[in-house]
Amino acid sequence: PIYARNIDGNKAIIKHQRTGFLFDTPNEILNLIEQPTNDITKNAYEYVYNYHSKRKEIEAYSELFKN
């Protein structure tokens, strides 16, 4: 699973406790590390595969250049 600071750029791609963990303080990450991650890891993989795979990124950039 992904553990990332709770900032706008990270929040754009990580959904807290669904595709990763967002934290504000160092103490928060320590508590988050102790949580189960099986479903989160699966959800994160599916999200990246469906929305940020190499194919999806190429399609998105192609559309951007077309416009």
Average pLDDT over residues 2-14: 94
Question: So what's the pLDDT on residue 53?
Answer: 87
pLDDT (0 to 100) of residue 21 = 95
Query: SS3 for the chain, per residue?
Result: CCEEECCHHHHCCCCECCCEEEECCHHHHHHHHCCCCHHHHHHHHHHHHHHCCHHHHHHHHHHHHHC
pLDDT digits (tens, 9 = 90+) for 16-50: 999 999 999 999 999 999 888 889 999 999 988 88
Report pLDDT for 19.
Answer: 93
